[in-house]
A and B are shown apart, each in its own frame.
Chain A
């Protein structure tokens, strides 16, 4: 310590490997993970999400797509849960468990990709609006306001109806309808960070706008975006299910949770399991994502660091 305090700059020696024994650069994400680990509910959420992801990855190992998931077997239609069909069969005699497992693929893909698209588009627009301010800000945010004035599900329905119902369009529709949310979140945090002294410091050492945005502003506004993203995946899965339920999403016979719900609703009285299990799956997945999102919010916020 004394070495640090007494100033002896004359003896600067060219050292080839400076900072011997200095602690390694510790990732700040490790800190976040350490804090997140303490949150039991968030860990439960993460556990469930891990199961869902594993199900999506190993879906083909668990049940064959051609022979089990989409092949109709009318002899076994609408059977209740049994040793052979764990969660029963649907109106075409297909194994509901197998269809739920394969359904995770669509849900996860739409959920993650649509949020990713929305973050890139919305985040970019929000960052530009927040950093440059003035007219640019006004134009971008007013357009976003117009988007926000239309209920997002209606917007998605309109987009899918116009472009046609397929996976790609579904993702785009959901992404576009949530762009304004991310634009707002990013703009708000850019606005607070833009006025911090370290941005001025970066300008004082001659950093370009691009460098300031990418090196200084974006890393500092990731936290709210990540939280919003986790919650957004849940929203996107819900929207996918909703759109599929009304026939605008994934087309049969491909398994999708919302479409399964829709298919089973006619048989609700005598075959409860056809709707209940996909419904429960949706609910548990959404709940898990929300738990994780809330946990991340606390773990990422340094002010809540106890």
Chain B
């Protein structure tokens, strides 16, 4: 899992930085982000409020609102092409067709005055050269695929429950058989039993159509169920990333460790949780050095001065921590190029 952009990567984000500028104040939303994803892989992007997850997704989709948002640097290479350099017209052809997105709130991402069938057919009509009739036919098939009878294509969104609406949203997102699906907190607004249904559906569809997926969430459990790879974001940076088993069972970054210690575990009882002290740094004025150092239990003097480089751990995943870096340097293991 090195960060070099290999040919086989479907998506490779390199050194992406996005800021929002409001009233002369700069919010550093995404800072030098690196992520790569192969075809058919599922990446869980985990982070708390303000970590920059959604901005990253909007960056990939070319939907960062400008102003106030601005992409400062970086590349988003999708299937060999840098999306950030792509002309607007062409980008529109990619969006919804080859990359599609599912938003958190199924209630507001559907148009209340169009039937769900029309909404699915619309996406197909925009991106594929088919007749209107064929598009409706395919819309019905898509509904069946997500477990809704095709007969309900003529119903309006308000006639569906929350879980069903999210299925419709998934059907719209998959209508053009995209290569990459970005799902931003797709199950956060749903109840657990419904969440379980939707996650099962997404897992099943991913396996059947070999769609690559980025699942944005704050829920470590959801990622454990669905993803192959995981990237933990903190203050606009990926602090730890790699194969899910490596990251979950061989956690190296203090922030990731803190996240795991913060959630009550169903299988093991603890008297007290061990929360991460303090709170998210102010994104307009991020701390110097390692951005996590003010909250880090292991922080030393150097942490506030120098910025950590990504380090390859012994199990093969990447973590950004100075303590790790110095350990690795001592044992003379190769450092990864950021």
Which residue numbers of A lie inside 8 Å of B, CB to CB? 1-2, 5-6, 306
Residues in B whose Cβ lies below 8 Å from that of A1: 278, 294
Give Cα A2–Cα B68 distance, bound, in whole angstroms: 33
Given that A306-B22, A306-B23 are contacting pairs, would A5 and B278 also be in contact in the complex, using a CB cutoff of 8 Å?
yes
Give Cα A1–Cα B282 distance, bound, in whole angstroms: 13
Provide a sorted-by-A list of 10 A–B residue pairs whose CB atoms are within 8 angstroms: A1-B278, A1-B294, A2-B277, A2-B278, A5-B277, A5-B278, A6-B277, A306-B22, A306-B23, A306-B68
The 5 closest A-B pairs by CB, nearest first: A5-B277, A306-B22, A1-B278, A5-B278, A306-B23
B66 to chain A, nearest CB (A): 14
A169 to chain B, nearest CB (A): 49
B153 to chain A, nearest CB (A): 35
Please report whether the interface of chain B is mostly helix, strand, loop or mixed according to DSSP.
loop
B98 to chain A, nearest CB (A): 34
Residues in A whose Cβ lies below 8 Å from that of B68: 306
Q: Chain B, interface size: which category?
A: under 10
Give Cα A5–Cα B276 distance, bound, in whole angstroms: 10
Residues in A whose Cβ lies below 8 Å from that of B23: 306
Q: Which residues B266-302 have CB closer than 8 A to chain A?
A: 277-278, 294
Residue of A nearest to B275 (CB): A5
B133 to chain A, nearest CB (A): 43
Residue of A nearest to B277 (CB): A5
Task: Known pairs A2-B277, A5-B278, A306-B68; list 5 more (Cβ under 8 Å).
Answer: A1-B278, A2-B278, A5-B277, A6-B277, A306-B22
B120 to chain A, nearest CB (A): 32
Q: Which residues B21-73 have CB closer than 8 A to chain A?
A: 22-23, 68
Residues in A whose Cβ lies below 8 Å from that of B278: 1-2, 5
A1 to chain B, nearest CB (A): 6
Give Cα A92–Cα B196 distance, bound, in whole angstroms: 87
A94 to chain B, nearest CB (A): 51
B109 to chain A, nearest CB (A): 20
Residue of A nearest to B23 (CB): A306
Give Cα A306–Cα B277 distance, bound, in whole angstroms: 30
Give Cα A90–Cα B277 distance, bound, in whole angstroms: 78
Give Cα A263–Cα B277 distance, bound, in whole angstroms: 77
Residue of B nearest to A4 (CB): B278
Residues in B whose Cβ lies below 8 Å from that of A2: 277-278
B292 to chain A, nearest CB (A): 14
Residues in A whose Cβ lies below 8 Å from that of B294: 1
Give Cα A6–Cα B278 distance, bound, in whole angstroms: 9
Residue of B nearest to A1 (CB): B278
Give Cα A99–Cα B23 distance, bound, in whole angstroms: 45
Give Cα A6–Cα B277 distance, bound, in whole angstroms: 8
Give Cα A306–Cα B294 distance, bound, in whole angstroms: 29
B32 to chain A, nearest CB (A): 26
Q: Which residues B162-186 have CB closer than 8 A to chain A?
A: none
A25 to chain B, nearest CB (A): 22
